[in-house]
Chains A and B, each alone.
Chain A
Amino acid sequence: MLLLALIAVPALAAVIAYARRTPQWRATWLIVGALLHLALVTVAWVVPPLPLFKGWLALDSLGLIVLTTVSALFAVVGFYAVGYLRRESPRGGRAFASYLLAFLAAASLVAVSHHFAVLWVGLEATTLAVAPLIYHRHDRRSLEAVWKYLVISSVGIALALLGVFFLATAQAGAPSARPLVLEDLITDAARLQPAWLKAAFIFLLVGFGTKMGLAPMHTWKPDTYGEAPSLVGGLMAGALTSCAFLGLARITQVAVAADIAPFVQPLLLGFGLLSLVVAAAFLVGQTDLKRLLAYSSVEHMGLLAIGLGLGGVGAYGAVLHMINNAFVKGLLFLAVGNVLLPARDGTPPGVSGVLHRAPVSGFLLLIGLFAVTGSPPFGPFLSEFAILSAAFHGGHYWIAATVLGLLAVIFVSLGARVLGAVYGAAAPTGARESAWLAAAPVVLALVVLGLGVFIPRPLFQALAAAAGTLGGWAP
């Protein structure tokens, strides 16, 4: 029942938020939905929920980690949205909170599904829930962004569906099993038809990779993140990509069980390295802050794919990096959102000398910069270190060297732009930050710092278990 509640609570809150006419209540329902969801997730850590519907819905360590990440990030963004809705009224008014909550419901469905078709439906639902949020301004630029987003991710998701059908075909040789249920696919892995399984992996990699934003399927990302409101960008870069990563991790679990790792690993490594190269190339000289974050997101998705591809400690690193990436991206998008908010009289903000105008957000941008580039003592340092050490231990020295070189290039480009924005000549235009708007990213910064200093025991155990199913182990 807990599994159903995880999906039903945000869905119900979405309906209620839509029905409410007064704006204050909408924001309240957003927060109520988010906090109830977070409470249910906490219960799931204490009392592991039982599988439902013949095992179609279940919660394992990996799903629980993704669910917790999404829920926590959403709660913080929900509080931020209260401050945001006071400043700006995005078009569509009451629908805004509803779409956010609907996204949470869909993301929960992705996290708890152990059936590939259900997983696919959940991912499709996240795509659709987010689309209207991008198109909030109703001008040419946001229209172009939403068109690219819809076309590219619809094609991606259609190819992923074809991949799911291929997977069902691969399983036709094991008729006793429940079709497309993860556990049975893993148990009967030896009886899966290898040719169809390989085809399924390629199509699912391309499909879910499109949603993650792996190069070369990343082209929607800079436009979409650049045009979406910053809190939507934060949710997409943090939560939506984590859901897509979960999809990729699920098919990797099947591939590992079926012993086709030698086929799968070069593909994952190839897409991952290409993403790093593309991100490094496009980050050089990029001036728009949100597009900067989009390419940084492409980079981190690449790191996730590399971690999965390396296996071993890399699998542990990838799952941990997914958590870190979610919170760092949330932090950066919210901080950038504060910087970019226009002043009350509508004067466009000057993106320079942020430290003078909005000291908290400026400081947070600095923290975010160091966190996102993998500097100690923040969380991403540990996870990137795990991925790199997997490369060294596996004897992939050239991969480790390439990754390190590209990370250095990315560090310089990101640093140049962000430091310029934070210090720079003072520009008095733009809004002052309010308590609501500043508090949310501060919480995220504390989480990112906390994950870099200390990983709690239950989380470590869950990470180790998740890495185990991906053919890896904890350090």
Chain B
Amino acid sequence: MPRVVELLLLLVILTSFIVLGTTRLSACIRAVAVQGLLLGLLPLALYPGGSLHIWGLAGGTVLLKGVILPRFLRWAIREAAVRREVEPRVGFALSLLVGVVAVAAAFAISRILPLPERERAMLVPVALATVIIGLFVLTTRSKAVLQVVGYLILENGVYLFGLTHVERVPFLVEVGVLLDVFVAVFIMGIVVFHINREFDSLDSTRLTELTD
């Protein structure tokens, strides 16, 4: 189902762009949730009539990236009563431009790199673009919750790249990805909660006491 795969990958990029271009935190979280669902569908589309392994991977991804983590983030912004990103270090229009450049660069790089299999060739550039966008969101947004969103997008990019190896490299890699997202974000979430209590805000730019 190469057509479906391409459509899904296109939607993945689209959801990343929504995060780049919106001020409302809840919209960003919704976009990341949709992206998680898309990532869960991808293994099924890539390996039609997949094994138990593929179904397990898909189910786990949908549950974790599509449901649990977004719910957790939504809880965090409700607790902290934050609605929108006030002053990103890079404006929204410029952010979208960076996103476009990232996608173009990722496709350009992927043309140079020797790709193992043609039919999954789209995966690699989309994965790289997602990684770049995630890093960008992580470094340019000031709200701690949005930084977690950026981290999730970065992880999603790594996951996308990992999908090229589902058959060849055993289960462990996927467990690694899921474990990483779950535990790291879970702990980050707890810390976000404490930041909120200590500083009365989820603004990590106010974490500036430790300097040289």
Enumerate chain A interface residues (CB-CB to B < 8 A). Answer: 115, 117-118, 120-121, 124, 128, 131, 135, 138-141, 143-148, 150-151, 154-155, 157-158, 161-162, 164-166, 168-169, 172-173, 175, 179-180, 193, 195-196, 199, 222-223, 226-227, 282, 286, 291
Contacts and interface: CB of A to CB of B under 8 A. Distances in A.
B176 A138 contact: no
B169 interface: yes
Interface string B164-176: 1100111011011
A164 B170 CA distance: 13
B212 A222 contact: yes
Interface residues on B, range: 35 or more
Interface stretch (B18-26, B87-95, B193-201): B193-201
Nearest to A179: B169
B184 A118 contact: no
A227 to B, nearest CB: 7
Nearest to B199: A140
Nearest to B169: A179
Interface string B182-205: 011001100100110011000010
A147 B180 contact: no
A254 to B, nearest CB: 16
Contacts, number: 116
A162 B158 contact: yes
A147 B191 contact: yes
A414 to B, nearest CB: 16
Contact of A199 (B113, B144, B162, B209): B113
B114 interface: yes
B113 A168 contact: no
B207 interface: yes
B161 A165 contact: yes
B114 A151 contact: no
A154 B151 contact: yes
Q: Which of A115, A138, A158 lies at the interface centre, i.e. has the most chain B CB atoms within 10 A of its CB?
A: A158
Given A128-B187, A154-B188, A226-B210, A117 B176 contact: yes
Contacts of A154: 151, 184, 188
Contacts of A173: 116
Contact of B173 (A131, A145, A165, A227): A165
B162 A165 contact: yes
B112 to A, nearest CB: 8
Nearest to B188: A150
A165 B163 CA distance: 10
B135 interface: yes
Q: Which of B144, B151, B183, B210 lies at the interface centre, i.e. has the most chain A CB atoms within 10 A of its CB?
A: B210
B154 interface: yes
Interface of A is mostly: helix
A158 B158 contact: yes
Contacts of B157: 162
Given A168-B168, A169-B164, A172-B168, 15 more contacts: A117-B176, A118-B172, A121-B175, A131-B187, A135-B191, A141-B210, A150-B191, A161-B158, A161-B180, A175-B168, A179-B165, A193-B114, A196-B114, A227-B210, A291-B212
A169 B191 contact: no
A415 B114 CA distance: 52
A335 to B, nearest CB: 23
A169 B207 contact: no
Interface in B109-164: 112-114, 116, 131, 135, 138, 144, 147, 151, 154-155, 157-158, 161-162, 164
B65 to A, nearest CB: 14
**CB-CB nearest 8 A-B residue pairs:** A144-B207, A223-B210, A172-B116, A179-B169, A162-B158, A154-B184, A165-B161, A168-B165
B180 A124 contact: yes
Given A118-B172, A154-B184, A165-B165, A140 B114 contact: no
Contacts of A115: 172
Contacts of A140: 198-199, 209
Nearest to B134: A158
Q: Which of B155, B172, B204 lies at the interface centre, i.e. has the most chain A CB atoms within 10 A of its CB?
A: B172
A193 B147 CA distance: 35
Contacts of A172: 116, 168
B177 interface: yes
A180 B169 CA distance: 8
